A and B are shown apart, each in its own frame.
Chain A
């Protein structure tokens, strides 16, 4: 005999303004199985929860329906309240009459009708609920950070400081990421290397941190508290523990045609190289596509000159398998390919460069030794035009719809640095808007415009072309309402940033959801910004959305604190709403196994007693610890053998029927 209680929340005026609460309560009272219905202004408040607890005890309720906000908001709250009153927490259903109803309806009549429908569906479902019991799972006290840029380094350092071991997996030969390529950082103009390299050294020397560089995560299985990762450590052809980083091999290597990735391809590097002087680990790596020995079998010069005997041409990729309690994505970003924007002649004119390329040109360790020179002829430029929003806030479909957030500030930085060092250089900046929200940001921009006489032009550039050894920029000045044509020596494109292309692959492996722009989705954009909706996966840095260094570092710390909170626990309670298979109905067809994103389904062939008929059959088995309750298996199962606890096919059908009544 069901004794269902229905509790209708006003949510102040959030629900009550668009839903006739009295009618919902009155209708609830006449639903089959309902013995009690009541409304209250704020059901989630202590007084509201007490109404629920008292009713459970007084009426001996066997199940409750709370008509309130989204279950993502307060399902846990009401389950806890029910549990405190002695009711199994999985006998609680939420009818979302706020997000699904009052917020999207204006007409009170319609809103009320829908609220009643949602209430009826929840009542129909709760009568089929069964008490469920959460299990327990272990927590492996080790974290994995994917990406060794400033985000990954800071997250790892903070986790390590709390005493937990952390592995950083970095796909490049050194940690440091994009920040290592920057010359100065806004808004303080301190040298990027000066603030980053000590952190890199700290990561290297921290005994809780293991750096796995030149490596990629290949496979991840498992679940929060107990992930298993397979990491491919690519062959460096240099023994990491033997190389001293002396650099002799680099100077002797006869193959010098490889593009220097660290300098954005603006100059060349040998086939054996250390990415940059402050690289961590300070160990050489051989570019197998450029190495003469690896390609033809001849040469071997680096092996001969290496006094440490670190060269090993036979090295193979190695695999590391490790268990982790938590995984942090810190996969970072790259600038978009500017050649998509043909009007700026990036692919045809050498003197049209991206901001990150300019960053290398301005850097003392860059291709020009820090002297501002035109890439085409190595001459000093007398005029530079900056074009902002190249591919950002783009509605043409070639770029990105979002604001890349950092370009206004780095362009102001570049403009200011150039005017400071080379006062003879004229600097023009074309902009749509200058966006400077951030501490000391607007002051910084104003300094560029007011003190350094940077010529800010509100408007966009239509075309850039080369003419008689210089560049011509045709744009529009929106304030003067006129077309302008500028002759200049260099053009710098503030290219949009996009998530690193590996992010999608990693996200898929981790079953972390991504948005249309390939940024990783947060569990809640405001309240849970550093967690992925997939339990145990955390987000750090630009992989979640465009951000500058201060923001990245604070997010990295936030992600670390969430990881520490998780690793501090000895046991986790598991979600009991998992799939299970009725072996008498199972065809053994493997459809469920194929769609399971968590690898939770396996097969076993054993003797089955089907109502007296004994047969050996191949049947599905669900690993309840791996199952996340997504329900994909129940949908593909042709015979209905797969079902989800807490969301059974019957419960869903009952809801649909109640809605269609």
Chain B
């Protein structure tokens, strides 16, 4: 992945110089080396600050809403990893992005690294992480010398269940790796929850959601949570004040949020990745995805632009009485 980083910067500069795009959405280095953060670059020179490494997990799709808005001048270049393209497509479906105003470089991805998992392996005083070049091994530099880890052992949660390395939409591809298909069984965790008794499940979520500090990171990172005005910020919605009334206060917030993105969530995993409290929020979304798959046939939001999701589709075959129970649900 380090190998294509230089190519991406070069190509971005080129597109900016020739006037194809007027700005670039990418990542810049943060305070620490593992802190790569989304950034809009507005000059070719500033692109020297663009990074593309194992810490560029942030999904840039959502930034395209603002950057392709009616009043926004010029075209924007966005760098999308395979998983990000699902979100981009879903936003296109919902008319939130003007495709004409966006130039997409599909960047190859071999999985993003979770620094906490590296630390958990016992590394202390980490000063940097490089790639060995085999696509699998990372070299961990520390104050006390170098070490090696396999990327598979330190993947961020969303990459553990990677949907595949193929981009669903792009203008050009810069990649040096092949699609290996989906990784792992993403419904494993959901099945474990389903196997619990209602009491156990309630206790599980009470334990998890009680950690919530209501920082809104999940909502802000989520590409599906892109309402102009969130119902939780809208006093007139009647739910804003419902969210914090008791010790299990944030359950309402998370359950309502999960329902709002049901059928539209592409399982990009940003909610769980950005949660500072480590709440496995993706389990809500995956539960709904699994239910939708089982009731209406397998459906992947964002697979292509212009799809009609099962929750907003009526067909001639829809039956009036209880189609859910017909299909074995209850």
Contact = CB atoms under 8 A, between A and B. Distances in A.
B139 interface: no
B136 to A, nearest CB: 40
Nearest to B239: A653
Given A586-B228, A615-B71, A638-B260, A595 B238 contact: no
Interface centre among A505, A514, A585, A615 (most CB of B within 10 A): A585
A636 B227 CA distance: 13
A504 B316 contact: yes
A605 interface: yes
Interface string B290-330: 00000000000000000010011110100111000000000
Interface string A128-148: 000000000000000000000
Interface in A346-401: none
Which of B96, B229, B230, B316 has the most A CB atoms < 10 Å from its CB?
Answer: B229
B236 to A, nearest CB: 8
Contacts of B264: 638
B56 to A, nearest CB: 28
A649 B238 contact: yes
Nearest to A516: B321
Contact of A591 (B70, B94, B231, B316): B94
A639 B229 contact: yes
A639 B227 contact: yes
B237 A649 contact: yes
A226 to B, nearest CB: 22
Most chain A CB inside 10 Å of its own CB: which residue of B227, B237, B313: B227
Given A587-B96, A589-B94, A594-B308, A615 B70 contact: yes
Nearest to A603: B95
A265 B320 CA distance: 34
Nearest to B70: A616
Contacts of A591: 94, 312
A616 B231 CA distance: 22
B216 interface: no
B230 A639 contact: yes
A515 B313 contact: no
A584 B236 CA distance: 13
Contacts of A618: 95
Nearest to B98: A618
A534 interface: no
A3 interface: no
Contacts of A588: 94-96
A211 to B, nearest CB: 27
B220 interface: no
Name, among A504, A513, A589, A615, the residue most crowded by chain B CB atoms within 10 Å (CB to CB). A589
A587 B94 contact: yes
Interface string B254-277: 000000110010000000000000
Contacts, number: 71
Interface string A284-309: 00000000000000000000000000
Nearest to A593: B312
Contact of B95 (A513, A516, A590, A653): A590
Contact of B227 (A515, A587, A595): A587
A240 B93 CA distance: 46
Given A508-B316, A616-B70, A584 B96 contact: no
A584 B264 CA distance: 22
Contacts of A636: 311-312
A504 B315 CA distance: 11
Nearest to A614: B71
B320 A513 contact: yes
A176 B106 CA distance: 63
A640 interface: yes
B69 interface: yes
A433 to B, nearest CB: 28
Interface residues of A, number: 32
Q: Secondary structure of the B side of the interface?
A: loop
Interface string A632-661: 000010111000000001100100000000
Interface string A173-190: 000000000000000000
A418 B33 CA distance: 96
A585 B229 contact: yes
Given A595-B312, A616-B70, A638 B238 contact: no
Contacts of B239: 653
A595 B71 contact: no
B70 A617 contact: yes
B150 interface: no
Contacts of A616: 69-71
A639 B313 CA distance: 19
B238 A589 contact: no
B127 interface: no
A515 B264 CA distance: 31
B231 A605 contact: no
A111 interface: no
A270 interface: no
Contacts of B94: 587-591
A597 interface: yes
A653 B320 CA distance: 26
B226 interface: yes
Contacts of B319: 516
B234 A585 contact: yes
Given A585-B228, A594-B313, A595-B312, A653 B71 contact: no
Nearest to A513: B320
Nearest to B319: A516
A434 to B, nearest CB: 32
A640 B231 contact: yes
Contacts of B93: 590
Interface in A580-631: 584-591, 594-595, 597, 603, 605, 610, 615-618
Nearest to B322: A516
A595 B314 CA distance: 7
B320 A514 contact: yes
Contacts of A504: 316
Given A587-B96, A589-B95, A616-B70, A640 B312 contact: no
A608 B70 CA distance: 12
Contacts of A586: 228
Given A513-B320, A515-B320, A640 B234 contact: yes
A615 B236 CA distance: 22
Contact of A589 (B96, B229, B313, B316): B96
B312 A615 contact: no
Contacts of B236: 650
B319 to A, nearest CB: 8
B70 A605 contact: yes
A588 B311 CA distance: 17
B228 A639 contact: yes
A516 B318 CA distance: 11
B311 A639 contact: no
A581 to B, nearest CB: 12
A610 B227 CA distance: 14
Contacts of A653: 238-239
Nearest to A653: B238
A628 to B, nearest CB: 14
Interface in B184-242: 226-231, 234, 236-239
Nearest to A654: B238
A596 to B, nearest CB: 10
Contacts of A615: 69-71
19 contacts: A587-B94, A587-B226, A590-B93, A590-B94, A590-B95, A591-B94, A594-B313, A603-B95, A617-B228, A636-B312, A639-B227, A639-B228, A639-B229, A639-B230, A640-B237, A649-B237, A650-B236, A653-B238, A653-B239
Q: Which 4 A-B pairs have the closest CB atoms?
A: A616-B70, A589-B94, A639-B227, A594-B312
Given A586-B228, A594-B308, A616-B71, 18 more contacts: A514-B320, A516-B320, A584-B229, A585-B229, A587-B227, A588-B95, A591-B94, A603-B95, A615-B70, A617-B228, A636-B311, A636-B312, A638-B227, A638-B261, A638-B264, A639-B227, A639-B234, A649-B238
Interface of A: 504-505, 508, 513-516, 584-591, 594-595, 597, 603, 605, 610, 615-618, 636, 638-640, 649-650, 653
